[in-house]
Amino acid sequence: MGSSMCSSGSGNLNCRSERIFPFYAMGTKNDASSLVVPSSLDSSADPIWDAIRTEAKLEAEKEPILNSFLYASILSHNCLEQALGFVLANRLQNPTLLAAQLMDIFGNVMMNDKGIQQSIRLDLQAFKERDPACASYSWALLYLKGYHSLQSYRLSHALWNQGRKVLALALQSRISEVFAVDIHPAAKIGEGILLDHASGLVIGETAMVGNKVSLMQGVTLGGTGKQVGDRHPKIGQGALIGAGATILGNIVVGEGAMIAAGSLVLKNVPPHSMAVGNPAKIVGYLEEEDPSLTMKHDVTKDYFEKLAINSSQVKSNGELLCISYLIYD
């Protein structure tokens, strides 16, 4: 794929962003405070792509053995869309799905879909800001299968919506084989998403995931039987879903809710509440608007400590302290 791809597409879309994308992985929409950008930004600047190229050049200097890899994956490309298409095509290729064919398909989708162009950047920011193991944007782009599987889903979802359902399902199959992540191409997933580790993640056909959600490994958003139609969970904006959590049926997890690791959720979860256990029960409420941004999985510990201090019943029967002990022992 030549460098001319970045100027192709609907309306001769330039590969560099037409505007500064709204950054809200760590704060409110349009809050760019968490991203260091050049001081002389103009309407065509793409600070994330600029940062990725700078990171790649520094990495190449530190590890000369990676020069060819970094050049092929990042430095030879003119925009993030082209680099991401190259990375994903080489991850998903097989003897019948050739890398060159996939690069053409991916490039055509991304260069003609402004929604995907925004999402891939907001997702990158989510990985960098929320995953302490991700030290740079380039690390997510090159090495993190959570990011790779999420962007591969976005491409399959776009193809599904174009009516190319067989190709979308073929991609879903390869995504599952390569990344151990199974997301149906018809599922609807927002932007600013973190799939941390991602292994074993399952998201069903009619599931919906709001913006700024963080999902850990082994999460299942599944159905409860053989029924057809709308049958999968709806996850509200800013929710945090812990490792191994299973959420089943056409139920709603409210905005800013937290599902503890290993929980089985079968009923609606109110906004900004904490659900724990098998089956899950509501054990408290959160003060923070978006727990997905803080990634604080043990908030119930603080909740019960405050509750114990403020409750006059603790001294009489110790019930609240017992609950806290059972959860954290």
pLDDT at 226: 84
Q: Contact at 8 Å (CB) between 59 and 70? A: yes
Q: What is the mean pLDDT of residues 245-253?
A: 97
Confidence of residue 209 (pLDDT cuts 50, 70, 90): very high
Locate the domains of the chain by residue range. 46-178, 187-328
Whether the per-residue pLDDT at 220 is higher than 70: the answer is: yes
pLDDT at 314: 47
pLDDT at 302: 60
Query: In whole numbers, what is the pLDDT of the chain averaged over residues?
Result: 84
Per CATH, the number for 187-328 is 2.160.10.10
Confidence of residue 296 (pLDDT cuts 50, 70, 90): confident
Instruction: Report the predicted TM-score, pTM, of the whole model to 2 decimal places.
Output: 0.82
The pLDDT > 90 percentage for the chain reads 73
- Alpha-carbon distance of 298 to 304, in angstroms, equals 11
Whether the per-residue pLDDT at 8 is higher than 70: the answer is: no
CATH for 46-178, among 1.10.10.60, 3.40.1280.10, 1.10.357.10, 1.10.3130.10?
1.10.3130.10
